[in-house]
């Protein structure tokens, strides 16, 4: 990448699913996968971009999912929040090992482990060039980490919410099943709703739409895709107001 490359965005919110950390494993964290992601994250911060991350917990929770059958929904959701804290700690540790400062902020109180989410402090960390990892979703059951990403993105004044997936954008059909499926380069929120594309859960999508906070869906497993998104290249699918 050219040293003179200029980012199209100065502050972004990256939504990572827990499953993205699994690699080819059935559950848990694949060390090779997380290190590759961290290299891409650091490459973005080196462009001068302020980066916050919301991370899911599906990869950890998947390992105990069988025991959660029949469990009270709120209890299961709190277990999921704890899984996101575990992922956030692992991600922050991997970032720190690359000599970049990361801070984990939790929406639920676990003071001995991570600091609580406080918006002014999060903004201060971002302005100082630290990577901020938001854990525990919104801190409330019945809300997904998609909603947490939309909420935190709006709170920190992010210019873009990046939804990292295993597919390089939103397609007219499932690209794994239909070879004729084509990728949307851009969509309005209204078009995405009419087409029922399921980009985020309804609460998160509505929040982004109301706040006019664009969403970019891209592949986290495609080498260099994150940098290309940040540089404003035609990578993934942009959903905008």
Task: Beginning with the edge strand found earlier in the chain, give each strand of the sheet holding 50-55 in spatial order.
Answer: 115-116, 102-106, 131-135, 50-55, 11-16, 160-165, 215-219, 237-240, 186-188
Kindly state the greatest CA–CA separation across the chain: 55
- For the annotated binding site, the residues are 15-18, 57-58, 62, 77, 138-145, 165, 171, 174
Question: Does residue 35 belong to any structural domain of this protein?
Answer: yes
- 134 in any annotated domain: yes
For residue 57, what is the domain's CATH number?
Answer: 3.40.1160.10
The secondary structure element, H or E, covering residue 54 is strand 50-55
- Residue 40, judged by CB atoms within 10 A of its CB (0-12, 13-18, 19+), counts as middle
Residue 81 lies in a domain: yes
Query: What tokens were used for 167?
Result: 């597919």
88/53 Cα distance (integer angstroms): 9
Point out the annotated binding site for UMP.
57, 77, 138-145
pLDDT of residue 71: 85
User: What is the predicted pLDDT for the residue at 68?
Assistant: 62
Q: What is the pLDDT of residue 87?
A: 95
Predicted local distance difference test score (pLDDT) of residue 25:
86
Domain presence at residue 149:
yes
- Domain interval for residue 71: 11-240
pLDDT the model gives residue 35: 95
118-140 mean pLDDT: 98
> What would the pLDDT profile of 206-216 be if each residue is shown by its tens digit?
999 999 999 99
Residues marked as binding for ATP? 15-18, 58, 62, 165, 171, 174
Task: Supply the pLDDT for residue 240.
Answer: 95
Q: Is residue 146 part of a domain?
A: yes
Average pLDDT along the chain: 93
What kind and span of H or E run contains 217?
A: strand 215-219
- Higher-pLDDT residue of 108 and 198 is 108
* 143-154 per-position pLDDT tens digit: 999 999 999 999
Burial of 203 (0-12, 13-18, 19+ CB in 10 A): middle
HSE-CB at 80 with a 13 A cutoff on CA atoms is: 26
Band of pLDDT at residue 83, cut at 50, 70 and 90: very high
* pTM, to two decimals: 0.93
Which of 19-28, 66-75, 94-103, 123-132 is predicted least confidently? 66-75
**Residue 215 within any structural domain of the chain:** yes
Q: What percent of the chain has pLDDT over 90?
A: 82
Kindly state whether residue 4 falls inside one of the protein's structural domains: no
Q: Give me the number of domains the chain comprises.
A: 1
């Amino acid at each position: 990448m050219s040293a003179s490359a200029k980012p199209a965005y100065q502050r972004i919110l990256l939504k990572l699913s827990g499953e993205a950390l699994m690699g080819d494993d059935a559950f848990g964290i694949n060390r090779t996968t997380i290190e590759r992601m961290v290299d891409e994250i650091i490459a973005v911060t080196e462009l001068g971009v302020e980066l916050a991350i919301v991370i899911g917990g599906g990869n950890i929770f998947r390992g105990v999912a069988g025991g959660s059958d029949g469990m009270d929904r709120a209890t299961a959701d709190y277990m999921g929040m704890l899984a996101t804290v575990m992922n956030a700690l692992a991600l922050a540790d991997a970032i720190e090992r690359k000599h970049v400062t990361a801070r984990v902020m939790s929406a639920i109180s676990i003071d001995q482990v991570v600091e609580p989410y406080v918006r002014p402090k999060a903004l201060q960390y971002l302005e100082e060039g630290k990577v901020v990892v938001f854990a525990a979703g919104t801190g409330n059951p019945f809300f997904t980490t998609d909603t947490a990403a939309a909420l935190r993105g709006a709170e920190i004044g992010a210019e873009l919410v990046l939804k990292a997936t295993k597919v390089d954008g939103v397609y007219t059909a499932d690209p794994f099943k239909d070879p004729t499926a084509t990728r949307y380069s851009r969509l309005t929120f209204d078009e995405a709703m009419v087409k029922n594309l399921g980009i985020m859960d309804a609460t998160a999508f509505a929040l982004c739409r109301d706040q006019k906070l664009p969403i970019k869906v891209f592949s986290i497993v495609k080498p260099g895709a994150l940098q290309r998104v940040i540089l404003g290249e035609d990578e993934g699918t942009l959903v905008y107001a």
